[in-house]
Chain A
Amino acid sequence: MSDHAAHAHGAPTTPWPLVISIGILFLIPFAFMAKFVYHQPFAAILCLGLGAPMIIMGIIGWVREAIGGAEFPEMRGLGFGAMGWFILAEALIFLPTFATYWLMRLNADEWPPAGTVDMPALLPIIMTVILVSSSFTIHYAEEALEKGREDVFKKLLMVTMALGLIFLTMSMYEWNHLFHQGFVMSTNIYSSTFFTITGLHASHVIVGLGIFTAMLLPALNGTINHVFVRTGSLYWHFVDIIWFFVVSQMYFW
């Protein structure tokens, strides 16, 4: 947008928010309703095929405009504070799922409810170690950037992303494993909360990886927005902290 600001009184414009909004409309509500409400899998695939590229295109366009900095000087550096507010909202997305889980569990006659299979114990420990180390790597990446060592920053950012991907893959493997044992969302109240909460957390990991991608690609071309890096890394720490709640409540209680 900085190049638009040069036109003295013309208000700046950008198409990407509108593109992303339409993309979200197709990707989530339309696709879900086509598949699960109206049972039209082909229409659902069509909606996914329309929505996903629109969102990706929109984010790419948005990042290209925004990575250079804010329109007015007083808008610079506000992302970090805003992320604090956003994390407050994010935490309250998780709270009701945990509250529901606690209430159902404490009121249950027997626990675990019928149909529950043996939950793995080693895998979640390995996943925890991986996610915690990714929090360390992004922290050191941030420190390297502050010292001006951009090459170290890029490498550590890539390591963080790799750790996040490994975490997701293990999560996927575990879900698949449980599905094969007949433990699915509709099995009982434990499976309902288990898949909802781990799924919700995994979706946050995906968003975090998206943020890192939006950081990495411009960085490889030589543009690094320091506020964006600090903001994204704060988000990643939050995703990491939430995992402690997920893992302790879902596997080890």
Chain B
Amino acid sequence: MMNVLKDWIFTTDHKKIGLLYLIGSIAAFALAGCMALLMRTELSAIGPTITDNPGDYNVWLYFHGAAMILGFQIPALTGFLANYLIPLQIGARDVAFPRVNALSVWLFYMGIVLALMTFVVPNPPDVMWTGYPPYSVLTPGNTALYTFTVLLLGFASILGGVNFLTTITFMRAPGIGWNQLNVFTWCTYGAFILQLIFVPVLGTAVTMITLDKYMGTHFFDPAAGGDVLIYQNLFWFYSHPAVYVIFLPFIGIVFDIVATFARNRIFNYKAAIYGGVGGIVLLAGEVWIHHLYVTGMPDWIRVGQMITTLMISIPVGLLFISLVGTLFKGSIDFRTPMLYGLSVIFLMLIGGLTGIPLAIVSLDLHVSDTYFIIGHFHYVMAVAGTFSIFGGVYYLYPKFTGKMYNEAIAKIGFWLSFIGVNTIFFPMMIVGVTTGMPRRYWDYSQFPDAAPYHTIMGIGAGIIAIGFIVILISWIHGLFKGTPAGDNPWGSRSLEWTTTSPPLAHGNWEAVPTIAEGWGPYEYGTDKA
């Protein structure tokens, strides 16, 4: 028992570290989901429902946003999936710096510890996940806790980024060229470049809030010559690219899932990689102003950033065409991972198309800070990202357990969640446009027309909760009752499926694998005919 514990908490093996990330991030997801349930229950009817204190609502809102983005999505995608998959996909025996990898995962856990302290400290942080001054500086809430949570998770991200960029650049097995990499590996490469550039900016910005609040500096204090808009700019300079840090790995894993279950090559591989991933990496840092259209900017900045924001749809469109083209003439197998993969395409389409009006200044000014925004970003980032993480877990389930989950339970879990998310987020967009219901309100007595929609959203939240419990049951059930899956249950050509399932605890392969001439991760023979 002690040996097993020691093997896990002192491990430097990328597969165990990946699973540690998975456990921590799923726990963060469950807790942040509970916060969402509390908020939806509070909003299910006009007036106070389960709390009389709007401050409680602020704390739930803070924890939901911060934990979902920083504690769940980014660690699950760039921690769990990247850790587990990338060394296997490039034929490496581990990452470049296994100890640094272990340091990353434990810093992530320390960040989770700080986030959990929200529930025990007096005056918990109540600054949403954005921490805008002047509120974050003036609030009695503990803004330092927010700052340090971000700093620890950010430091873990930076170390992870350095580690994986070095791994992918220098540790590909001999014979794997840049054009033979899995799309997931490529997408994660892009995501890690973005993290290295933008995470430090967030770290500095949140540090400056804490300096302002506790050390008396004046960065964001207009009375002394500071400027609150500097914070908003720095924050979104990170946080818009953070959307792509989430988007790129999740679209990458969807590519791998779709190619495997459609038994088809990636359509337009080079356009998707160099145009799609490359385009997003290049444009990611030039669009953040669209979060600040209403703050009072010169028109030339707003119009310029409107153009760059609209340009983002070009690389995203390339990736989208590539995904749909991969389905075309494929022999599609509707297993659970594929259902998640296809649903991500659908959710991303809705989320992406609702993003276009938001990029246009004249339209955005009218729906800014309404429920339309919440509906949009939950579709494109929150739900699509979460569904691809769950799809990735199902896809890799036989890889890391050697067992097969129960398909029926898994499919029930999928459909419940899928119906749930559409029941909650589609009405959000309608209510945002038709009633102008503003976000972040704990009571909406000024917007009585919104009430029936809120009731429907409350029901949707309940359905998601049940769906997630079913998903968890399917994972735990498979662990104990799953049938042996064999080494390559999906018949994938990708390198991670050529090793045993689960792979060797130390080193993945007996020796660095040899790659045959002309090998590719998606060679299903469909191009030859």
Contact = CB atoms under 8 A, between A and B. Distances in A.
Contact of B10 (A14, A37, A104, A189): A14
A81 interface: yes
A22 B110 contact: yes
A20 B106 CA distance: 9
A18 to B, nearest CB: 5
Contact of A1 (B12, B114, B158): B12
A81 B217 contact: no
B384 to A, nearest CB: 28
Contacts of B144: 29, 32-33, 36-37
Interface stretch (A42-50, A67-75, A241-249): A67-75
Contact of B148 (A32, A88, A191): A32
A24 B215 contact: no
Given A74-B512, A196-B211, A88 B9 contact: no
B265 interface: no
B289 interface: no
A107 to B, nearest CB: 7
B42 interface: no
B142 interface: yes
Interface residues of B, number: 69
B106 A17 contact: yes
Contacts of B102: 14, 17-18
Contacts of A11: 7, 11-13, 16, 505-506
Contact of A74 (B92, B109, B216): B92
Nearest to B106: A21
Interface stretch (A92-100, A130-138, A162-170, A215-223): A92-100
A103 interface: yes
A9 B217 contact: no
B114 A29 contact: yes
Contacts of B163: 82
B214 A74 contact: no
B267 interface: no
B103 A78 contact: no
A169 to B, nearest CB: 23
Nearest to B216: A186
Given A1-B12, A18-B106, A78-B96, A89 B158 contact: yes
A130 B211 CA distance: 30
Interface string B143-177: 01100100110000010011101100111000000
A8 B97 CA distance: 20
Contacts of B506: 8-12
Contact of A29 (B92, B152, B225, B230): B152
Interface string A2-26: 0000001111111111101110110
Interface in A168-221: 184-186, 188-189, 191-193, 195-196
B144 to A, nearest CB: 5
A71 to B, nearest CB: 7
A20 B159 CA distance: 14
B352 interface: no
Interface stretch (B191-199, B417-425, B487-495): B191-199
A252 interface: no
A90 interface: yes
Contacts of A20: 103, 106
Contacts of B162: 82, 85-86, 89
Contacts of A24: 107, 110, 152
A62 interface: yes
Contacts of B92: 74
Contact of B218 (A9, A21, A95, A192): A192
A113 interface: yes
Interface of B: 6-7, 9-13, 16, 92-94, 96-100, 102-103, 105-107, 109-110, 113-114, 142, 144-145, 148, 151-152, 158, 161-163, 165-166, 169-171, 196-201, 203-205, 208, 210-211, 214-219, 224-227, 230, 234, 504-507, 512
Given A82-B165, A95-B200, A196-B217, 5 more contacts: A66-B99, A74-B93, A89-B199, A96-B204, A188-B225
- Minimum-distance CB pairs A-B, first 3: A186-B216, A21-B106, A192-B217
